[in-house]
Chain A
């Protein structure tokens, strides 16, 4: 591993940039090429659907590093450059007309937003993945009155919250009858739904969008019960697709992402990290892919360290955070769907609590709701495999039963 002198990274978002930073921090002196298909310097995505969408932050504030820090990495940054194929045997990546050789390759091409079918020619229909997406959406929200957000996941919830903060009428539509929140799944659905309703969102769960109306520009959407929801702007937050088309025929195993071992190895001298990667979890033997900023960061650090020092890193535990209407939600670990959450601090009814997911008598996940310090303590207890020892013991009644 440590004899790699040319490391090529495809994907210049947080996973790609963190790989380059960690390689240098670990003392790598060879050449680094960072290839990104956007024209912008590396930026983070979590703020896009939060402070950037509300207008509190300029898009620049999502930037991941300043020009001096980027220059100090002494790398070749190829911007607006799209990798089109990989030859594992020859150790080359094709980028436009150029064939780039590598000793080790790190793939961090992420995902792309799934588009709503049949809306290609209709103005006012948006998705949100890139900084260009958020700039376009912000501009249109400035002139809009009624926004329909489609998607029962965390991105849909964050967009709805941001649009309400901008004072718009918001309808949030979900095909699922429950709202999901990252790895926490639907455990907090009723609490999130209550938050949306308290903040004036018209919540329509359990409905498909059967039609998007408008001539040239969207005017309304039609739900599966026939309801017509007027909308000047529609935002689709209906999931994403791993950006792996360029790897078809490369010999890498592609199955909703790039299949990797527990160190991110996908093929000899080829690694994949971040949203696009499906790493093996040695503990559960499952191959999992998750779209979380911190997971991308930690996988990047793990692969960079492995490349420089040959040392393997411990498994990455999923960590996720969101903020809705000022409510900070944080989650660490796993949340099996059939294990109800149990409070270990605070009270859901008071709008502040920490809850745990317990499997076979062990805490496997903790989630905090407006209780960041207690969440951190619960997380530390979980890491230390200690029983939760907070102010109140684990209650036997699940959260859902008390609402």
Chain B
């Protein structure tokens, strides 16, 4: 699984950190910071849920 984030689209809502704090964090402006771009499959549900709740659709999860 690969995760990519689009920091220029990010609106700093923090939904991803609320959903999967082991994969995502925010900088001081609230912009997403990806902590692990290829986590093991145990993180897949969290990653996909974070992507689905991102208001800016700034997170992509691919196989």
Interface residues of A (CB under 8 A from B): 18, 21-22, 25, 44, 46, 61, 64-65, 293-294, 297-298, 301, 319, 321, 323, 328, 330, 372-373, 375-376, 379-380
B26 and A376 form a contact (CB under 8 A):
yes
Majority DSSP secondary structure for residues of A touching B: helix
Instruction: Please name 9 pairs of A and B residues whose Cβ atoms are closer than 8 Å in the assembled complex, sorted by A.
Output: A25-B48, A64-B57, A293-B55, A319-B13, A321-B11, A321-B12, A372-B12, A373-B30, A380-B18
Which residue of A21, A22, A379 is within 8 Å of B14 (Cβ)? Answer: A379
Q: Which residues of B contact A298 (CB under 8 A)?
A: 53
A323 and B11 form a contact (CB under 8 A):
yes
CA distance A68 to B27 in the complex (A): 31
Chain B 1-34 near chain A by CB (<8 Å), digits 1 or 0: 0000000010111110110000000101110000
CB of B47 to closest CB in A, whole Å: 13
CA distance A376 to B55 in the complex (A): 15
B38, CB-defined interface residue at 8 Å: no
Interface residues of B (CB under 8 A from A): 9, 11-15, 17-18, 26, 28-30, 48, 52-53, 55-57
A321 and B13 form a contact (CB under 8 A):
yes
A328 and B55 form a contact (CB under 8 A):
no
CB of A218 to closest CB in B, whole Å: 33
CB nearest neighbor in B for A293: B55
B57 and A376 form a contact (CB under 8 A):
no
A294 and B30 form a contact (CB under 8 A):
no
Q: Which residues of B contact A375 (CB under 8 A)?
A: 14, 30
Known interface pairs A328-B30, A373-B28. Does A46 touch B55 (Cβ–Cβ under 8 Å)? Answer: yes
CA distance A64 to B56 in the complex (A): 9
Q: Which residues of B contact A65 (CB under 8 A)?
A: 57
A330 and B26 form a contact (CB under 8 A):
no
Q: Which residues of B contact A373 (CB under 8 A)?
A: 14, 26, 28, 30
A46 and B14 form a contact (CB under 8 A):
no
Q: Which residues of B contact A25 (CB under 8 A)?
A: 48, 52
Most buried by A among B15, B17, B28, B55: B55
Known interface pairs A328-B12, A372-B14. Does A321 touch B55 (Cβ–Cβ under 8 Å)? Answer: yes
CA distance A323 to B30 in the complex (A): 12
Q: Which residues of A contact B52 (CB under 8 A)?
A: 18, 21-22, 25, 297, 301
Q: Which residues of A contact B53 (CB under 8 A)?
A: 294, 297-298
CB of A399 to closest CB in B, whole Å: 21
CA distance A297 to B29 in the complex (A): 24
CA distance A330 to B12 in the complex (A): 9
CB nearest neighbor in B for A323: B11
Q: Which residues of A contact B12 (CB under 8 A)?
A: 321, 328, 330, 372
A330 and B13 form a contact (CB under 8 A):
yes
CA distance A294 to B55 in the complex (A): 6
